[in-house]
Amino acid sequence: MQCQNGKLIVLISRNDYIRYAFWFHLFAMFWITAWIEAYNIFVLVSSACIWYFEVSSADGVRRPINRSFFRGLRFHIGSLAFGSFIVALIRMAIAMCEYVKFQLEQTAGAAAATSEVYKCLITCCECCLVAYLKCVEFINKHAYIQVRINS
């Protein structure tokens, strides 16, 4: 802080710790979002399984969503966290490709032809990563179904 003309002025300087903290928090956001999506899928699938296998009982089905919610927290939190970690890694790679593409657009000018080639390569990598992400999400969804059925 500095004092100029009786007013306090705060100077903020960027260092490597702030940059690393940004990337860490971005990855954490991706992981938490993927975990919430995975947990949502698990609760829906588990509730459907409970309803299907207990619909023939005389009492009917008792609180399938609550039971699925607590079963996911108690028995399957590791499976859900691992699947969401893989999804978060892929989403982080896509975000890094976007960041590199943004940096190339900012520095474009003198070597525009070279920049266009790099942007094309990064866009191709990004496209492949998005396709891979969709495949992994599909496999994870069906893995969560198998985790629930086999427990």
Domain span at 109 = 2-149
> How large is the average pLDDT for residues 105-131?
82
Residues 6 or more apart whose CB falls under 8 angstroms from that of 49 comprise 148, 149
Six-digit token pair at 102?
């943004």
**Contacts by 74-81 with C-beta closer than 8 Å and gap 24+?**
75/151, 76/42, 76/147, 76/148, 76/151, 79/143, 79/144, 79/147, 80/35, 80/38, 80/39, 80/42, 80/144, 81/35
Domain tally for the chain?
A: 1
Tens of pLDDT, residue by residue over 38-97, are: 999 999 999 988 888 877 666 667 788 898 999 899 999 999 999 999 999 999 999 999
34 band by pLDDT with thresholds 50, 70 and 90: very high
User: Amino acid identity of 100?
Assistant: V
In eight-state DSSP terms, residue 102 is: H
pTM (predicted TM-score): 0.81
